[in-house]
Amino acid sequence: MTTNTKSLDGVLIKKAHKKTRYTQKEIESLRQCADPDTGPKYFLDNYFYIQHPVKGQLLFSPFQFQEKLVESYHAHRFNINMLPRQTGKSTTAAGYLLWYAMFNPDVTVLIAAHKYQGAQEIMHRIRYAYELCPDYIRCGVTSYNKGSMEFDNGSRIVSQTTTDNTGRGMSISLLYCDEFAFVNPNIAKEFWTSISPTLATGGKAIITSTPNSDEDQFALIWKEACKRFDEHGNDTEIGVNGFFAYTAHWSEHPERDEAWAKEERGRIGEERFRREHECEFLIFDETLINSVKLSELEGINPLRNLGQTRWYKDCHSKMTYVVSLDPSLGTGGDYAAIQVFELPTFEQVAEWQHNLTPIQGQVRILAEITKTIKEQTEASGDNTQIYYSVENNAIGEAALVAIKDYGEEHIQGMFLSEPIRKGHVRKFRKGFNTTHKTKMSACAKFKHLLETGKLTIRSKPLVSELKNFVAHGTTYGAKTGEHDDLVMSMLLNVRMQQILADWDPAIYEKMKDLQTETVLPMPIFVSV
């Protein structure tokens, strides 16, 4: 007979290294559990008990999508799963992890959860199932506590909160990351950077979560896993990063129907429903741009890089090009940024960003960009128009001096300045002055153009900044620790576009619904 002993927590466990006499039927069951191909399914179907919140103790009866989930765990070395909330993803994983440790000797299973409570909850499910397994199935235990358990086959299961040091120094056979999308982005990035090399020698990884931000570490891994094609462009089962991606729709849960969905939408709202149950990457901060639109923006790789300037498309004749510089000190703090747009297509052409380029260098970059536009379109003669400008607030004054010293005659195009408005008494300065009023007006215009599909942005860095460009009281700005320099240059560009629209019918046609009833005065510009 099997000898049981009590752990420190007072629960029954199987004592390690004790000889046991098995019946033929028990041997056959053990053999089926240990089968390297069908073992996980057999174990979960016959010996994995769960604690149902309403029904209490139940033998796990997986839904179809949970069976597919287990199959993916077993068939692929690297798994990433994006599943709706409360669909049993952690419970399913707990069953597989227990099977893996008991029927594979000398392995280390690491559970990394985004919170301590989450780590303990998964361990509780594993412990609960282990304690209800018959002795002829389960391994003997050499160590048994809330955060870990070790078996007499040399295997162990360890649960920890995800930090940048989690798992460091461990030889991990199977890594399970629970709700990875909700780990602090900086910690998640550092954790993944440090843990990945430990898996390079043959370890497995299972990453499971409901989506959160579309730029966190979970989202980055997921998107790469969804790129399933080889070097020839043929479809593959595995993503380009080696991960197998699996997701399930809420309707695959047999207890959820349209009536449930309607009630849930009413309770938590449409956007939250789409994130938590439709598994869509949506932004829930009060961003300037609608979260649904942000989820659709991805950006593209540059067509070419000329120095630090990213060019996304070639310039063409008979077009108007708008070049905006938002300057900085260039001492390693805020970034200087340049945006280039083509009108009347309203398409992003190029972009530049740097925080260590002095103001004089920023002006040289501006000149190089306008020169490149001129060279690409010079065959068209005078049909191509180039306008450039700078923000003249604070450091912008130094930029104006730098432009004067560089020589406006050496910058292709016309220096566009905002008109002096009726009633304003300030002394005229070239460029554009940003106030709270002009910034919010530009925000509204940019929001409209982008959300209605009239304006096209191609820059991945700009898309990234927009996802962190959120409401702060009565204005918008970058989240703490983030930058908004590309966005601010974009807003300056939109202000320039708005002025040009009053004098170019083709530009006006796209922006006419943004015009005021008052006819604006003629813009002030300097031609070279």
pLDDT tens readout for residues 413-432: 999 998 876 655 556 789 99
Q: Which residue has the tokens 């309707």?
A: 251
- The pLDDT assigned to 267 comes to 92
* 321 three-state secondary structure: strand
Instruction: Report cis status (omega within 30 of 0) of the bond before 344.
Output: yes
- The pLDDT assigned to 214 comes to 74
- The pLDDT assigned to 517 comes to 35
* 411 three-state secondary structure: coil
Locate 492 and state its tokens. Answer: 């300056």
- pLDDT > 70 in the chain, percent: 91
Per-residue confidence at 133, pLDDT binned at 50, 70, 90?
very high
Kindly report the backbone phi and psi dihedral angles of residue 314, in degrees, each rounded to the nearest multiple of 5, phi listed first: -80, 155
What whole-number distance in Å separates Cα of residue 472 and Cα of residue 479? 9
Query: Over 60: is that where the pLDDT of 8 sits?
Result: no
Beta bridge partners of 13: 5
Higher-confidence position of 519 and 376: 376
Q: Write the Ramachandran bin of 293: left for phi over 0, alpha for psi from -120 to 50, otherwise beta.
A: alpha
* 178 three-state secondary structure: strand
Buried b (16+ CB within 10 A) or exposed e, 21-32: eeeeeeeebeee
Query: Over 70: is that where the pLDDT of 521 sits?
Result: no
At 168, the amino acid letter reads: R
Crossing angle of helices 89-102 and 116-132, rounded to 10°: 60
Q: Which stretch of 325-334, 363-372, 438-447, 474-483 has the lowest confidence by average pLDDT?
A: 474-483
Query: Over 50: is that where the pLDDT of 352 sits?
Result: yes
- pLDDT tens, 232-261? 556 788 988 899 999 988 888 988 999 999
What number is the average pLDDT over the span 492-515? 80
Per-residue confidence at 231, pLDDT binned at 50, 70, 90?
low
Kindly report the backbone phi and psi dihedral angles of residue 127, in degrees, each rounded to the nearest multiple of 5, phi listed first: -60, -40
Identify whether the C-beta of residue 333 lies closer than 8 Å to the C-beta of residue 355: yes
* HSE (side-chain half, CA atoms, 13 Å) at 398: 13
Label each residue of 24-91 as H, E or C: HHHHHHHHHHHCCCCHHHHHHHHHCEEEECCCEEEECCCCHHHHHHHHHHHHCCEEEEECCCCCCHHH
Q: Dmax of the chain from CA atoms?
A: 99
What whole-number distance in Å separates Cα of residue 328 and Cα of residue 323? 16
- The pLDDT assigned to 11 comes to 52
Q: What is the mean pLDDT of the chain?
A: 87
Beta bridge partners of 416: 525
- The dihedral over CA atoms of 82, 85, 89, 90, expressed in degrees to the nearest 10, equals 120
Helix (H) or strand (E) segment spanning residue 214 = none
- The pLDDT assigned to 486 comes to 96
Q: Write the Ramachandran bin of 394: left for phi over 0, alpha for psi from -120 to 50, otherwise beta.
A: left
Higher-confidence position of 512 and 96: 96
Kindly report the backbone phi and psi dihedral angles of residue 103, in degrees, each rounded to the nearest multiple of 5, phi listed first: -115, 15
Kindly report the backbone phi and psi dihedral angles of residue 252, in degrees, each rounded to the nearest multiple of 5, phi listed first: -75, -15
Angstrom distances, CA of residue 410 to CA of 36, 149, 234, 320, 440: 73, 73, 50, 19, 33
- The pLDDT assigned to 235 comes to 72
Q: How many residues does the chain have?
A: 528
For the ranges 102-116, 160-174, 412-426, the maximum mean pLDDT occurs at 102-116
Closest CA to 98 of 131, 69, 72: 131
What number is the average pLDDT over the span 21-37? 92
* 370 three-state secondary structure: helix
Closest CA to 198 of 116, 123, 106, 108: 108
| 246: number of Cβ within 10 Å | 19
Q: Cβ neighbours of residue 230 under 8 Å, at least 6 residues apart? A: 236
* 149 three-state secondary structure: strand
Locate 120 and state its tokens. Answer: 């303990």
Please name each of the domains of the chain with its CATH number.
4-248 (3.40.50.300), 304-527 (3.30.420.240)
